[in-house]
Chains A and B, each alone.
Chain A
Amino acid sequence: MNPDDLLKQPLTSVADDGFSERVMARLGAMERRRMLVAAAVIAAGVVSAFLLLPMQSIGAQLDIAIGQTASSTAVSLAAGAIVLTLFLEKQFSRL
């Protein structure tokens, strides 16, 4: 048999024997670990924010800002325009 014919022989077929399941199990564990780390980082951030930031003062400022925004005609008109646009887009997409 010449070398080219020998080289063209397909690779030995390797039976799965649970390999794919092991990969998917490790993948699931990897994803769970990633989510856990992300959740821990977010939780640490939130706790740090509560401990380090002046939350009472921020809360008071937010109350004022929300009150002003809610009573603003311009903001109400903008919100109405957005809702109307979304509604019309949904209606047209059904046609």
Chain B
Amino acid sequence: MNESELLARAAAAGDAAAFGVLVRRHQSKLRGFLLRMTRGNHALADDLAQETFLEAFRKIGQFGAGSFFGWLCAIAYSRYLMEARKRKLENLDEADEIADGAPEPETASLARLDLEKTMARLVPAQRAALTLCFALGLSHEEAAATLNMPLGTLKSHVNRGREKLAAMLDAWRNKAVP
């Protein structure tokens, strides 16, 4: 059992200070994840992160074994999806996906090549899958559990996301360096 799991158990037993340690320990990564999900909207990412921690505290008794951060991300992703639907932030479905062609010529510059901007063009499920599996180092199984989707679907999101990302980067480079 790792330290976060021990702290989570202490918090479940009513130790608020232990939960405070968990908040301080995981806030940066969680806010980073939500910042990417909200495509750079700091205020919304912070609101969602706060709500995530409050919900986590309410449900801490339901946390079993495994990655505490993965469990937090599961709550955060579900909150993000609810908020995105409510505010109609972006198209969530594959069918309504944003056209992922090359960007406008004036933005096609290697100097402005930015992973966040590229990621923002992917559908949320792909963005979340790629972030969890690559930037946050979760296994495919953990990421699938976090995003509450079958393993095959997760792998498909990862593969499609990678392909699109590579295509977008190629398109940008070709325009920037003819």
B157 at the interface (CB under 8 A from A): no
> Complex Cα distance A27/B35, Å?
22
Q: Chain B interface secondary structure, helix, strand, loop or mixed? A: helix
Q: Are B134 and A4 in contact (CB under 8 A)?
A: yes
A23 and B19 CA atoms in complex are apart in Å by 10
Which chain B positions have C-beta within 8 A of A2?
Answer: 166
Is A19 touching B49 in the complex (CB atoms < 8 A)?
yes
B23→A20 contact, CB < 8 A: yes
A9 to B130, CA, bound (A): 11
Query: With A3-B169, A13-B28, A20-B20 given, is the CB distance from A27 to B136 under 8 Å?
Result: no
Tell me which residues across on chain A come within 8 A of B28, comparing CB atoms. Answer: 13-16
For residue B32, CB closer than 8 A to chain A, the reply is: yes
Q: Can you list 9 contacts pairing A with B, beta carbon distance less than 8 Å?
A: A4-B162, A6-B165, A6-B169, A7-B115, A7-B134, A10-B135, A23-B54, A27-B16, A30-B57
Mark A residues whose CB is within 8 Å of B.
2-4, 6-16, 19-20, 22-24, 26-28, 30-31
Closest 7 CB pairs of A and B: A11-B32, A7-B134, A14-B31, A3-B166, A20-B24, A20-B23, A23-B53
